[in-house]
Amino acid sequence: GSDSGAQRHMAAALVFRLHDRGPELVREVLLERGWEEYDSQDHEDQDWNLYWRGSTFSSLEYRNLLPWQRLNHHPKTVGITRKDFLVRNLRRMRATCGSSLYDFSPTAFILPNDYTRFLAEHENLHLSRERSAYWICKPVDLSRGRGIFIFQDLKDLVYDGPVILQRYISDPLLVSGYKFDLRIYVCVKSFHPLTVYIHQEGLVRFATEKYDLSSLRNLYAHLTNTSINKLGPFYTAYKERVGPGCKWTMNRFRHFLQSQDVNELLLWQRINNIVTLTLLTIAPSVPLCANCVELFGFDVLIDGRFKPWLLEVNYSPALTLDCQADFVVKKALVSDLIDLMNYSASDSLRQRKMTGTDQRLGPGPLPRPRLLPPVDLNRTHNDQQVRPVGYRFSHRSWRVLKSQNIKPTLSLIYSSMETEAPSDRTTGLREQHVPPVRVGDFIRTFPFNRATRKASQHTLDVKKVLQELQRLTNQLVPGQSEKTSSRRTEEELKKKSEGGEKFESLFWGLKDPPFIRPSLKRKENSD
Ligand code: ADP
């Protein structure tokens, strides 16, 4: 419509910068949207709006950010994306917040440190009925299935660097005998206040040989990484129900789920919970950076009783296009992500101002920046005073900086800003801001109601958030049979959302969730 036309026109001046020339998909999507690619010959050092890289940015890069520049990673998110840090953080949360909500990650040990503890656990299990406990060993800093093996017998545990040992979920849900996991795409729009979106599409990644606990060494049967399975002998073969290749779109998986006797709402809500609860482990310690956004890949395994388990969180989920499912899912994902970043006219105005390429703008104040004060990597949000001030940065200040050949860093800009004392009006505005429930296929899953919005507005009140999550989840837990309770809850939720509580933001399982599923209806009729 006219909106997207205006956006394309506005976007003509936006510049993206890719580290190491990739990912190609990001380039393709941004070029199609009318962006320009950064080129050190044509552009000044600071002349870009988005810098995308697969690896981490340095603290200097965060510190020197200019108001119009955005990065595709928040600082210090390694606390959930490195396997051993994630284990430690979840363990800490379990200890302080209890294990009733934090029960979604398989028991894990970090070796070599936890070796004795692991032995004790192993011994315990051996003495109890669970003789058949299986373990999976993963190097802490590798990805794509590299270096992973599964074992049952202690003598098979061999490692030569830091690894994590995790209870192997040995009864995964199978599709025609094949194991799979879900790749859930999560965008953290902001950590302060915590604002989280989950993409409705996503990928289901299959193993390419039938699941078989008697062949633990056959990685094609036990691991679901594409990088492994695409090298397997059955990758291209047509596999019962799964088809050729090793991926489904989430949409296809939803159709599969509808043929199962499962409380779907509860399943999706538990996945939402996993995402929120995992992010809560680091949210209070992530430094404030209003110019950052991040796309995480959460890997979730569903077991035979439909319980979702978190396997790991990926820092830079692969954006390569290997197969049809990738084409369908990833391109729309990147495009929705750019929409979610909400580039506005001021992003390009500032840029033109800096390079002096747009004389029509003339002297005068820049449009009011929407961005917050500079990133201080040593301070976290909860001990930092965030003043929602109105400010202006005068054109004169720019000229002075430029004439003295001083690089206009974010700190400099803010320190030379004419600040206005925060008025009730500006503070009020900030508090009233409710992030959209949906942008493209990104659905806001946090905050999900007024109480969680309030609990995350200033200092993050983790306890309150946990209470609200528990309350919501309880509404979905069946008191009676799965079928009736899931139908009743859908109706209750519908009523609630009509009454103004934005519970519909939690439905990311279905595009336009019907409140009574056709399959359920049919079953009831035939009952
Ligand atoms: P990587 O970063 O190397 O991909 P993951 O933790 O994602 O490491 O593990 C790779 C694959 O191994 C997963 O996609 C999944 O198929 C399988 N896997 C990992 N952990 C478990 C587990 N605890 N139980 C069952 N399968 C697992």
For 17-41, the DSSP string reads EEGGG--HHHHHHHHHTT-EE--TT
Ligand 1 atom nearest to 312, measured from its CA? 6
Does any ligand 1 atom lie closer than 6 A to the CB of residue 169? yes
Does any ligand 1 atom lie closer than 6 A to the CB of residue 143? yes
Mutation probe of ligand 1 site: the residue of 104, 299, 311, 314 with most atoms within 8 A of C-beta:
311
- Maximum Cα–Cα distance across the chain: 81
Does any ligand 1 atom lie closer than 6 A to the CB of residue 224? yes
Does any ligand 1 atom lie closer than 6 A to the CB of residue 316? no
Distance 204 CA to ligand 1 centre (A): 13
Q: Whose CA is nearest to atom 27 of ligand 1?
A: 168
Does any ligand 1 atom lie closer than 6 A to the CB of residue 299? yes
* Distance in Å from the first CA to the final CA of the chain: 47
- What domains are there in the chain, each with its CATH number? 11-106+173-359+437-476 (3.30.470.20), 107-168 (no CATH)
- What six digits make up the tokens of 144? 């794509």
Does any ligand 1 atom lie closer than 6 A to the CB of residue 166? yes
pLDDT tens, residue order, the chain (527 aa): 344 444 444 444 789 999 988 899 999 999 999 999 999 888 888 889 999 999 999 999 999 888 889 999 999 999 999 999 999 999 999 999 988 899 999 999 999 999 999 999 988 887 886 667 999 999 998 888 899 999 998 899 999 899 999 999 999 999 999 999 999 999 999 999 999 999 999 999 999 999 999 999 999 999 999 999 999 999 999 999 999 999 999 999 988 998 898 888 889 889 999 999 999 999 999 999 889 999 999 999 999 999 999 999 999 999 999 999 999 999 999 999 999 998 775 566 555 555 555 443 444 444 443 444 445 555 554 443 332 222 233 344 444 445 555 444 433 333 333 232 333 333 343 445 788 888 888 989 999 888 999 999 989 999 999 999 998 888 777 663 344 444 455 555 555 544 444 444 444 444 544 333 333 333 433 33
**Cβ pair 332, 354 in contact under 8 A:** no
Distance 17 CA to ligand 1 centre (A): 32
Q: Whose CA is nearest to atom 20 of ligand 1?
A: 311
Distance 134 CA to ligand 1 centre (A): 13
Distance 90 CA to ligand 1 centre (A): 17
How does strand 15-18 pair with strand 50-52?
parallel
Mutation probe of ligand 1 site: the residue of 136, 208, 209 with most atoms within 8 A of C-beta:
136
Distance 220 CA to ligand 1 centre (A): 12
Q: Whose CA is nearest to atom 23 of ligand 1?
A: 168
pLDDT reported for residue 521: 37
pLDDT reported for residue 345: 59
Ligand 1 atom nearest to 169, measured from its CA? 24
Task: Name the residue among 182, 184, 178, 147 with its Cα closest to residue 165.
Answer: 147
Reported pTM: 0.81
| DSSP 8-state symbol, 76 | T
pLDDT reported for residue 374: 47
Distance 507 CA to ligand 1 centre (A): 26
CA 302/CA 171 separation, integer angstroms = 9
pLDDT reported for residue 346: 58
CA 235/CA 232 separation, integer angstroms = 5
CA 182/CA 253 separation, integer angstroms = 9
Tokens 């990833």 correspond to what residue?
330
Distance 266 CA to ligand 1 centre (A): 23
